A and B are shown apart, each in its own frame.
Chain A
Amino acid sequence: MGSQGDFIQVLQEQGYPLENLFPSANGSGVSRHPEVTQGTTVFAMKYADGVLVAGDRRATAGNVVMYDRTDKVLEIDRFSVMAIAGVPATAFEMARVLEHSFKYYRRSQLQDLSFEGKLRALSTLLKNNAPAALAGTGTVVPVFAGYDVLEGCGKIFFYDILGAEFEAVEYAVSGSGSSTIRGILFYMNRWGNSPISGLNEEDALIFVLRLMTSAAEFDSATGGVDAQAQLYPIVKRISAEGVRTIPADRLKTLFTEKVLNDV
């Protein structure tokens, strides 16, 4: 009985094979070349009203585009979002474990898990996943963003593949397209008209769409925006009211007016 509110412990007691959650790197022995498969662009940034988290929608295998409508920005609960880069199978499984862990904790302990507790939970999953990550078969490098109800502010954290967590002051990026936009974010934050944290929602969304377009320009594994196919990034907004998805219609209008025709 998970009287401590630990869902993974409950799974274990019910006989769920934990190797499913944390595959080890056995078989191949020591990892030879940890091939980092994280063809994607996800990022989170703080703006005037909270936090925006965005992700492109392309899934690739080598040089093949597998799928163009992937959702990499996953709502874990009312106040937190995980944006994933890395091996999708492991990342989606982690998201499912987190979602159920938080639900289970809230319902059994009759209180919400603190934001720090949520961060630890993801860190633990990543740490247990380290063998698979090092073998190159289960690398996940997520960005975790949420609203800290206790402190009354939005927060962004990013992780390395072994589970170390780092708090981002203004923004965090992950995936193969991130090096492109990291430079832009740094430049705009320092020498732009206003620091990113001062942008209103509309300007922040325009910025997100332009960043995604830039990432796709230089990274073949990033889907960017495909207006012809009505394909827009997934963008979620986190504030005191919780997580809200920005409707594709709004992104479409902004993209047409401020990205395509504003050069």
Chain B
Amino acid sequence: MYEEPYRWIEAVANRRTYLDDQFTQGNPLIGLSFTQGILLLTFNRGTDKIYEVYDRIALGGMGHPADLEKLRYTLLDMAHVEGFQRSPSDVTASRLMKNGLAPVIKQAFEEIFKAPYITKILLAEVGPTQDRDHLFSINYDGMFEEQREFGVLAASSSIRETLAKEWKVQGHPSSLQAALEVSLRLWGISSLLQTDTPSSDEEEKEADSSPTTSVSTIPDDEAIASRIRETLSKETLECVLLDRENGKMETYRSLSQAELQPLIPQYFEPAT
């Protein structure tokens, strides 16, 4: 029944609606480059969302854990075989994304008789200097983008746009503490916009009618702070630093709660 082109397009569109809906419950993920390295941040409800891929590369995921796990293995296999046969410096996020991840995700999305990957992935690669940092984010349909300083996984493209604009306003953090504050704020905005959005269907209609003006307004500071506090009390803050100052081999470092707490004490105190 899908032989006709129209049916196929219709099926793919249905798939988008289904997938968009799946991500409304997901946790946004922020990745940003600053002087010391790249910070990846999200919250989780038990299953980790950020993983080490190779010496200078990490991934952050949003969506179904089983799908994320499968794609994580694809990346690990590719990276380690490449690093072994050639050199660790030949393993780049760019090639992992373009040759490894994108074709696999796109194919799964378009093969309408099979299940798509319910996942969005951010790949971060820390360079020896900040201008050689790379962040790649890929959507469930295989579309990916490359950014130098800021990457985000969010429920919808309009939220992504809002966050990208907000990031420009926030400026460039020059310390881990500043990077942590900016990322948390962006996460909070993303989380609020995601739950405030009425439903994916309506949003899609809005986006269809006025694709350029779909940027949402930024919630006020107090709402953002209370969302962060509320989430901190229920879920685990997951932070990974790709530390460029830590030598070539082991840049990946998971930041413990004890390390995080003194850097952002305001969110750990009960709201007054």
A interface residues, Cβ below 8 angstroms from B: 1-3, 7, 10-11, 13-14, 16, 78, 96-97, 100, 103-104, 107-108, 110
Contact = CB atoms under 8 A, between A and B. Distances in A.
Contacts of B85: 16
Contacts of A13: 77
Nearest to A7: B80
A100 B82 CA distance: 10
A1 B80 CA distance: 12
Given A2-B77, A104-B80, A107-B54, 8 more contacts: A1-B74, A13-B77, A14-B81, A97-B84, A100-B84, A103-B80, A108-B76, A110-B51
Of all A-B residue pairs in the complex, the 5 with the closest CB atoms, nearest first, are: A100-B84, A104-B80, A107-B52, A14-B81, A1-B73
Contacts of A7: 80, 84
**Interface of chain B, helix or strand or loop or mixed?**
helix
A107 B73 contact: no
A111 to B, nearest CB: 12
A41 B55 CA distance: 32
Given A1-B73, A108-B76, A100 B83 contact: yes
Contacts of B74: 1
Interface of B: 48, 51-55, 73-74, 76-77, 80-81, 83-85, 250
B124 to A, nearest CB: 15
27 contacts: A1-B73, A1-B74, A1-B77, A2-B73, A3-B73, A7-B80, A7-B84, A10-B80, A10-B81, A11-B81, A11-B84, A13-B77, A16-B85, A78-B250, A96-B84, A97-B84, A100-B83, A100-B84, A104-B76, A104-B80, A107-B51, A107-B53, A107-B54, A107-B76, A107-B80, A110-B48, A110-B51
Contacts of B48: 110
Contacts of A104: 76, 80
A104 B76 CA distance: 7
A14 B77 contact: yes
A92 to B, nearest CB: 13
Contacts of A97: 84
B81 A16 contact: yes
Nearest to B81: A14
Nearest to A107: B52
Contact of A100 (B52, B53, B73, B80): B80
A100 B78 CA distance: 12
A7 B84 CA distance: 10
Contacts of A100: 80, 83-84
Contact of A10 (B53, B77, B250): B77
Nearest to A97: B84
A96 B80 CA distance: 11
A2 B250 CA distance: 22
A78 B247 CA distance: 12
Nearest to B69: A3
A54 to B, nearest CB: 22
Contacts of A96: 84
Nearest to A75: B249
Interface centre among A2, A14, A103 (most CB of B within 10 A): A103
A108 B73 contact: yes
A135 B55 CA distance: 37
Contacts of B54: 107
Contacts of A16: 81, 85
A11 B83 CA distance: 11
A110 B55 CA distance: 15
A210 to B, nearest CB: 32
Most A CB within 10 A of own CB, among B48, B76, B83, B85: B76
B143 to A, nearest CB: 25
A104 B48 CA distance: 18
Contacts of A103: 55, 80
Contacts of A110: 48, 51
B254 to A, nearest CB: 11
A214 to B, nearest CB: 34
Nearest to B76: A108
Contacts of A107: 51-54, 76, 80
